Structure 1
Amino acid sequence: MKKLITLLLLGCASFIGCRTPKSGTPDLEQQKPVTTIAFGSCSRQSLPQPLWDDIAAQKPDVWIWLGDNIYGDSENMDTLRAKYALQKSNPVYQQLRQSASVIGVWDDHDYGVNDGGKEYPKRKESQQVLLDFLDVPASSSLRTQEGAYSTHVYGPKGRRVKVILLDARYFRDPLKKENKINVPDPSGDILGETQWKWLEQQLTNSDADVHIIGSGIQVLPEEHVYEKWANFPTARQRLLGLIGKTKPKGAFLISGDRHMAEVSKVSVPGLGYDLYDITSSGLTHVSAPHEEANRYRVGPIVSKLNYGLITINWQAKPLTATVNINGDNQATYLTQEMKF
C-alpha cells in the first residue's frame, strides 16, 4: 500500500502518456514537484552492491533503471526471474523501492542476450519479466504493447518533468560487423516505426518543463567500437533531428551500458540550448581506467562504481538542472550543470 501511495503522489506512467486520474485520486496539478532523480545501470545481481545506501541517502523522488539491471543472458524465463528476484531481494534496494518511484527500461543483458536486438526469440516473454520486476500492474497498457518503452510524468504544470524511456533492443536491427568489429550501418534502425511515432507524440507540444530521455546505450559518442546509437547513424540523426524539430523544454539524455561514466555534449540545430548525454555505469562493476576517444566529452571518464543524481532547481532563471556522478561513501566524481 505504501508503494501505491508513493506512486500516486509522485506521478503516473503510460506508453501514451499520463492521463488524469479519476475523481478521488491526486492529479498532476496537486502533486509536489519532483526535484531529485537518481539513475544507474549495469548491476550484476551476484556481486556486492555497495551503492544502494548512498542512493537511498539522497532521498530521490524517482529511481531510473537504465538497463543491464541484471545479467540474465538467457532464453529461459525462469533463469531471468530468479536473477531479478535476487536483485530485488537486496534489503537496501527494497528501502529505496518504498521511498521512491521506481521506473526503468532494459539493455542487452537483462533483455536476454549480449548485444541483442529484434532477433532475440524470447523478447515478448522477457518484456513481461522486466515489467514484473518493475512492479508494473497487470492492467497497464505497457503489458500489451510490443517493446518496453514508456513515459512517466511528474508534477504540476510549470514544474512538470517527463521521463521518456526508449527501448533500444526490441526493434533494433542486428549489428553490422567487419572482422568481428561493429561498423556503422546507415540502413539499420533502432526504435522501429511504432516507437518513432510514439516518441514524436511525446515530444510535440509537450507541456513538461524538463524532458529526460533515457536510452540503455549511449546516444552522442561516435568513436568507440562498442554498442552506441552511432552504429546506426541514420537513426541517431533522426533522433537528434526530432529533438531539434519539436524543441522540448529542458531536454537531456541519460544512458548506461559502458561500465564507466562520462558526460557528452552537442549543439542540435533548432534546439536553442546544448544537448547533453549523461552516461552512468556501473552500479556493481566498471572497466579499468583507460583513455577513449570522444570528441563530445565534457570532463573526465569516471572508472569507479557510480550512479547519476539529477537535481532540478525550479527557482533558477533560466531553469537549471545539475547532474552529479556519485559513488560509494557519498563521493562525487563529476558535476555538470545544464541551463535551459
Structure 2
Amino acid sequence: MKKLLTLSLFAGIALAGCRTPKSDTSSTLSFKQADSSRTKAITKIAFGSCSDQKRPQPLWDDIVAQKPDVWVWLGDNIYGDSESMDTLRAKYAIQKSNPVYQQLRQLTPIIGVWDDHDYGVNDGGKEYPKRKESQQLMLDFLDVPSTSPLRQQEGGYSVHTYGPKGQRVKVILLDARYFRDPLKKENKVNVPDPSGDMLGEAQWKWLEQQLTKSDADVHIIGSGVQVLPEEHVYEKWANFPTARKRLLDLIAKTKPKGALFISGDRHMAEVSKVSVPGLGYDLFDITSSGLTHVSAPHVEANQYRVGDMVTKLNYGLITINWAAKPITATVRINGDEQATYLTQQISF
C-alpha cells in the first residue's frame, strides 16, 4: 500500500548529487561529464544501500527507468566481510557485473561511500587492519581514476558539487568507518561512548570547510549509518553522543542552506526529523535500506520518526523543481515495480 507523508519546511531541503572534477568518487561517466557539473542543474537523484551481491537484485530496472541524474551508494555496497583483498575484489566484481546495474553505470554518474560490510568487517572502525587497501578497492568499484586525490587521501570521504549558482547542490559523503573509534559494548550490546569519535580531526576540519560560507543552495550530507535516531541498539551516530552533538552544532554554526542527511545500513527505510537550535529550519535524516534484503516487519522506537517505517526492498528518489517559488522537491521511498511507500513534499 502506498503511504503518503507530506511536510512543508520553512527553510527547505532536498536531495541531489554531483561531483567536482578533482575530488570526486564517481563512475567513469561522471568524470567524462566533469565540465558540465557546474553548468547544468540536476533535478533527480536516486540513492540506496545494502546490496548483497549473492542475492537477487530486482530494483535496478526500476532505478534505471527513473533516469536519475546521479546514483549515490550509501554503504554495504557489497557484503565483503574479509581481510582478504582478493575476496573483496571478487565480490565487487560480482556486483559490478550485474547487467542491469551496468545499464545504470552507462547512463548515470555514480558516487558513493562505504559502510561496514564493504569496508571489510561487520561494525568495524579504525581498528580494521586492511582499511587502506580496502579503500582502494572501493575507489576501483566507483571508477575513480588513479590520478584522483582520493587515491592519496586517508578515508573515503568526498564532496560533489553540481549546478550553476542559484541551482547548486553539494553532496558531502562522510566516512564513518576509517577513523571511527571501536564500539563500546556491555553484555555484547552497543552502549553510548561519550569519549568516542566518528570522523577523526582531519575529516572534521574538511567538513567544516565544506559547510562554511558554501555557495550551494542545497547540502546533502550522506552517512552510512543513521545520524538522528537514538533509541535502537544498532550502529548509529548516537553511539558516540559527543560526536553526534558536534555534527549538529557544526551545522547550526555554519548554517548551510537546505542541509539534509541521507543514510542507509538499517535494512528498512524511514524519515527522522529534529529541530536544531540556531539553524532556522528542521533537519531531516532520510534512511533508505536495503536494495536486496530488509528486516521482517517489527516495532522499533524512534522519537524523531515522521510517518511509518518501511520494511520492503527500497531505494530513495528525489525530484527537485527549481522553477517553483520557493524551490520544491518530492522525496520518495520507492520499491519494486515502481511502488512508492513514502512520499514527502518539501518546500525550500
Q: How far did residue 16 of structure 1 move?
A: 9.0
1:111 aligned onto 2:119: yes
Q: Is this contact kept in 2: 1:265–1:298, CA < 8 A?
A: yes
Q: Is this contact kept in 2: 1:13–1:153, CA < 8 A?
A: no
Q: How far did residue 322 of structure 1 move?
A: 2.0
> Matches of 1:14 and 1:188 in 2, distance apart?
31
List aligned pairs for 1:217-232, cutoff 5 A: 217-232=225-240
Counterpart amino acid of residue 241 in structure 1: D
Which residue does 2:260 correspond to in 1? 252
1:26 aligned onto 2:30: no
Alignment size in residue pairs: 324
Q: Is this contact kept in 2: 1:14–1:152, CA < 8 A?
A: no
Counterpart amino acid of residue 288 in structure 1: A
Q: How far did residue 323 of structure 1 move?
A: 1.2
Match of residue 205, structure 2, among 183, 190, 197: 197
Structure 1, gaps ≥5 residues long: 1-9, 18-23
Structure 2, gaps ≥5 residues long: 1-17, 26-32
Q: Is this contact kept in 1: 2:162–2:169, CA < 8 A?
A: yes
Which residue does 2:142 correspond to in 1? 134
What's the CA shift string for 1:4-31, capped at 9, x where partnerless? xxxxxx64354499xxxxxx973554x2
Give the match's secondary structure for 1:136: coil
Which residue does 2:324 correspond to in 1? 316
Which residue does 2:280 correspond to in 1? 272
Match of residue 54, structure 1, among 62, 73, 77: 62
Counterpart amino acid of residue 88 in structure 1: K
Counterpart amino acid of residue 193 in structure 2: D
Which residue does 2:28 correspond to in 1? none
Which residue does 1:242 correspond to in 2? 250
> Matches of 1:82 and 1:278 in 2, distance apart?
31
Q: What TM-score do the two structures reach when normalised by structure 2?
A: 0.91
Specify whether residues 52 and 27 from structure 1 end up closer, same or farther in structure 2 by C-alpha distance, changes over 3 A only.
closer
> Matches of 1:16 and 1:86 in 2, distance apart?
23
Q: How far did residue 318 of structure 1 move?
A: 2.4
Q: How far did residue 165 of structure 1 move?
A: 0.2
Give the match's secondary structure for 1:168: coil
Q: Is this contact kept in 1: 2:46–2:68, CA < 8 A?
A: yes
> Matches of 2:149 and 2:35 in 1, distance apart?
20
- Structure with more contact order per residue of length (Cα contacts < 8 Å, sep ≥ 6): 2
Which residue does 1:4 correspond to in 2? none
Give the match's secondary structure for 1:26: helix
What's the CA shift string for 1:48-98, capped at 9, x where partnerless? 000000000000000000000000000000100000000000111001011
Q: How far did residue 311 of structure 1 move?
A: 1.1
Q: Is this contact kept in 1: 2:43–2:321, CA < 8 A?
A: yes
Q: How far did residue 271 of structure 1 move?
A: 1.5
1:45 aligned onto 2:53: yes
Which residue does 2:161 correspond to in 1? 153
Which residue does 2:14 correspond to in 1? none
> Matches of 2:339 and 2:291 in 1, distance apart?
14
Which residue does 1:287 correspond to in 2? 295
> Matches of 2:304 and 2:141 in 1, distance apart?
34
Which residue does 1:302 correspond to in 2? 310
Which residue does 1:178 correspond to in 2? 186
Mean Cα displacement is larger for which, 244-253 or 129-138? 244-253
Give the match's secondary structure for 2:280: coil
> Matches of 1:145 and 1:56 in 2, distance apart?
32
Give the match's secondary structure for 2:242: helix
